[in-house]
Structures are given as structure tokens and as C-alpha cells.
Structure 1
Amino acid sequence: MIEITINGKACTCEKGEFLLDVARRNGFYIPTLCHHPGLAEQGCCRVCLVEVVERGKSKIVVSCVYPVERPCEVYTDSDRVREDRGAVLMLLAMRAPESPEIAALCRQYGAIDGSRFKPIQGEKCIMCGLCARACASLGTGAISTVMRGTAKKISTPYDEPSSACIGCLSCVKVCPTSAISFTDGPEKRSIWGREFELVHCRECGTVIGTREEIEYAAKRCGEEPEEICPECRKKKMADVMAHTYGECEI
């Protein structure tokens, strides 16, 4: 175990543990955008910057991918951190001027005024890549990074509706800036240029997903598709257990 201090508080961690995880475990807030607990760290947004002092030398590091190797002092909100974080947020605001999440962080950290730069009109995406990675982790790979330079974006191949998309909204759920648009109606869902039939639980009627999503999940598990929500499945299993073994006597 290694002992470090974060904003003056003594904390212990394992060697190689990422600094962001150590800080959050000990109650310290560090803002993030490209970080998600269900996906491997990538450190591309740079919002989680912190100041680390080791052997008398200070440096700014990206906490989500910085492994603790030795005792050190960490400052999550020093003047230097706020200045560098403000500069990063200014650049992100130029990339995604329509994102309320970015705007809120800019106000919180006093982001540098970037009015002299020309923003990308109507954009919310910061190109963190979480959505494409979430899609790939499911094995569908319906969306990815396309184009280059200033035209770089996340999309389906050739901007056409992808047959690989199952309408599961995994991309939407991990997006930190609400950049992916979709619509849900009583019976249909539209996303990435496709329309999907929504399946309702046969017991309670709640929406449990798209037809393609349910069939895909069942195939991966080697089971037959079942149109029943998790809560009703639990209740059904409890009823079966009660019927099989009887009520417990007090």
C-alpha cells in the first residue's frame, strides 16, 4: 500500500491504482467527461486534471489514467489546476457550444473567454468516443469515428442507417453531453436513421427494449427471446419458488 495526501488529507491506495479512483473513493470531486466506470480509461477530454507534487517537483497530470507509483501530494483544485482546466474547457466549449454540461463546467471553473475563436455551429459532441466504445463492447459496432480533421465525427458507415444497430441506447446512456438524439414513442424508437419496434413486457406492459435488442441479447446468452421485464421475471421466479417449496413457517 502507498500513502499519499489529497488536498492535505492522508489517503492510502494500491500501487498502480489510478489517481481519479483514489480521490473519488476518499470523497474528493474531480470533474470528468470521457470517463465511464464501465469502460476502460482513455484520458482524452483532459477535464480531470490535477496537480501532483513528487520529490518537490510539481506537475499537472490526467488523473483518470495516472497510476500512483510512490508517495505524493495531490491538489484537485489549486490555482494551477483551475487555470489549466479552464483552458481545456474553453477549447471544449468551442467544439461543443450547444452543450449545457460544458457550459456549466465553464461557469464553475471560470473558463477562459474563447469568443475570439469561431465555434462549431450547433454541436454538442466533444469526440470523447465513449459512445463508439460502448457500441463496440456490445459487439455490434454500428457507429465509429469517421472523417478527419475538423470534419471528424461519430456516425454510422457513410451516414447511412446501419443494419448492425439494435437501438439499445447504450451510446446515448454513456454520452456526457447529450449529443446523440433519439425519439421514443409509445410503439417506436428512432435513432441513427433507423426506426425500431418497442417491445412491452407481457406482464406489466412496461417497455423492455427494441425487438432487435431483445433478440440480440437472447442470442448472446444462448436463450430464446423472452418478452418480460426484470422485475416481473423476479416475481415470477419468486412465485415458482413459493409454489415449489411452500411458505416458510415463522
Structure 2
Amino acid sequence: MIEITINGKKCTCEKGEFLLDVARRNGFYIPTLCHHPAISGQACCRVCLVEVVEKGRSKIVVSCVYPVERPCEVYTDSERVKEDRAVVLMLLKERAPESDVIDALCKAYGAADGSRFAAIDGEKCIMCGLCAGACAKLGTGAISTVLRGTAKKISTPYDEPSKDCVGCLSCAYICPTKAITFKDDGQTREVWGRTFEIVHCRECGAPVGTREEIALAARRAGEEPEELCPTCRKKKMTDIMAHTYGIV
């Protein structure tokens, strides 16, 4: 175990543990956009900057991927951190001027007006890659980073409806800036240029997911697709166990 100091408070952690995780475990707030516990190592938004002092030398690091190797002092909101974070947010604001999340962070940290830079009209995406990572982890790989330079974006191949998409909305739910739009009226769901039928639980009528999403989950589990919501599925398993063991 290693003892470090965060904003004057002594904290212990394991060697190699990332600073962001240590700070959050000890109750310190560090803003993030591209960080998600299910998809590690993004480190592209740079909002989680902190100041680290080791042997009298200070440096700014990206806390979500900075491993603690030795005792040090950490400052999550020093003047230097605030200034650097404000610059990062100013640039992100120009990348995604329509994002309410980034706008709120800019106001919180006093980010300067970046209008001298070319903003991307109507954009919310900061190219953090969380959506593509979630899609890949799910096993569909329906979306990815396409094109290069200023035209770089997240999309389906050739911007055409992808046969691999199952309409699960994992991409939309994990997006930190709500850049992925979709429509859902309870009967159908539209996302990435495709329309999916929403299946409802055969017992209680609650929405379960798209037919493609249910089929994918069944294949991964090695089972047949079953149109039951989590609550009714749990009840079914309880009834089976009760019958098996003769519990009345």
C-alpha cells in the first residue's frame, strides 16, 4: 500500500492504482467526460487534470490514466489545475458548441470565450470514443471512427444503416454529451438510420428491448430468445427452483 495526500488529506491506495479512482473513493470530485468504469483508458477529453507534486516538483497529469507509483501530493482544484482545465474546456466547447454538459463545465471553471477558433455548428460529439467502445464490447461493432482530420466522426460504415446494429442504445446511453440521437415511442425505436421493433414482456407487457437485441443476448448466453423482462424472468427462475426443490 502507498500513502498519498489529496488536497491535504492522507489517503492509501495500491501501487499502480489510477489517481482518479483513488480520489473518487476518498470523496474528491474530479470532472470527467470520456471516463467510464466499463471502458477504461480513453484519456482523451483531458478534463480530469490534476496537479501532482513529487520530491518538490510539480506536474499536471491526466488522473484517469495516471498510476500511483510512490508517495506524492495531489491537488484536484489548484489554481494551475483550474487554469489548464478551463483551457481544455474552452477547446471542447468549440468542438461541441451544442453540448449543455460542456457549457455547464465552462461556466463552472470560467472558461474563456473561444470564438476565435472555428466552431463546428450543431455539434455535440467530442470524439471520446465511448460509444464505439461500448458497441465493440457488446460485440456488434456497428459504429466506429470514420474519416480523418476535421471531418473525423463516429458513424456506421459509409453512413449507411448497419446490419450489425441491434438498436440497444448502449452508444446513446454512454455518450457523455448526449450527441447520439434516437426516437423511441414504446413500439419502435429509430437509431443510426434503422427502425427496430420493440418487444414487450409476454407476462407483464413491459418493454424488453428490440428483437435483434434479445436475439444477440440469447446467442451470447447460449440460450433461446425469451420475451421476458428481468422481473418476470427472475420470477420464472424462482418458480422453477421452488418446483425443483419442492418448496411450496
Short-chain TM bin: over 0.9
Give the structure 1 partner of residue 185 of structure 2: 185
Give the structure 1 partner of residue 166 of structure 2: 166
Contact 2:189–2:195 under 8 Å retained in 1? yes
SS of 1:123 mapped into structure 2: coil
The Cα of 1:27 is off from its aligned counterpart by 0.3
Give the structure 1 partner of residue 85 of structure 2: 85
**Using the alignment, how far apart are the partners of 2:186 and 2:11 within structure 1?**
50
Give the structure 2 partner of residue 139 of structure 1: 139
Give, as a single letter, the amino acid of the residue that structure 2 aligns with 1:141.
G
**Using the alignment, how far apart are the partners of 2:186 and 2:9 within structure 1?**
51
The Cα of 1:211 is off from its aligned counterpart by 0.3
Give the structure 1 partner of residue 176 of structure 2: 176
- Give the alignment of 1:7-18 within 5 angstroms: 7-18=7-18
SS of 1:117 mapped into structure 2: coil
**Using the alignment, how far apart are the partners of 2:79 and 2:39 within structure 1?**
31
Say how many residue pairs are matched.
Answer: 247
Structure 1 residues not aligned, in runs of 5+: none
Give, as a single letter, the amino acid of the residue that structure 1 aligns with 2:246.
Y
Give the structure 1 partner of residue 23 of structure 2: 23
Structure 2 residues not aligned, in runs of 5+: none
Give, as a single letter, the amino acid of the residue that structure 2 aligns with 1:197.
E
TM-score (norm 1): 0.97
Contact 2:50–2:60 under 8 Å retained in 1? yes
SS of 1:196 mapped into structure 2: strand
SS of 1:245 mapped into structure 2: coil
- Give the alignment of 1:1-250 within 5 angstroms: 1-243=1-243, 244-247=245-248
**Using the alignment, how far apart are the partners of 1:241 and 1:53 within structure 2?**
57
TM-score (norm 2): 0.97
The Cα of 1:187 is off from its aligned counterpart by 1.3
Give, as a single letter, the amino acid of the residue that structure 2 aligns with 1:143.
I
**Using the alignment, how far apart are the partners of 2:22 and 2:189 within structure 1?**
40
**Using the alignment, how far apart are the partners of 1:240 and 1:152 within structure 2?**
52
Give per-residue Cα distances to partners, 1:117-156, cap 9 Å, x unaligned.
Answer: 2211000000000000111111111000001111100000
**Using the alignment, how far apart are the partners of 2:232 and 2:182 within structure 1?**
27
Q: RMSD in angstroms over aligned alpha carbons?
A: 0.9
**Using the alignment, how far apart are the partners of 2:108 and 2:204 within structure 1?**
43
**Using the alignment, how far apart are the partners of 1:25 and 1:18 within structure 2?**
11
Give, as a single letter, the amino acid of the residue that structure 2 aligns with 1:71.
P
**Using the alignment, how far apart are the partners of 2:154 and 2:135 within structure 1?**
12
The Cα of 1:246 is off from its aligned counterpart by 2.4
**Using the alignment, how far apart are the partners of 2:56 and 2:246 within structure 1?**
67
The Cα of 1:237 is off from its aligned counterpart by 2.2
User: What is the identity percentage for the equivalent residue pairs of Structure 1 and Structure 2?
Assistant: 77
The Cα of 1:163 is off from its aligned counterpart by 0.3
Give, as a single letter, the amino acid of the residue that structure 2 aligns with 1:110.
G
Give per-residue Cα distances to partners, 1:42-62, cap 9 Å, x unaligned.
Answer: 211000000000000000000
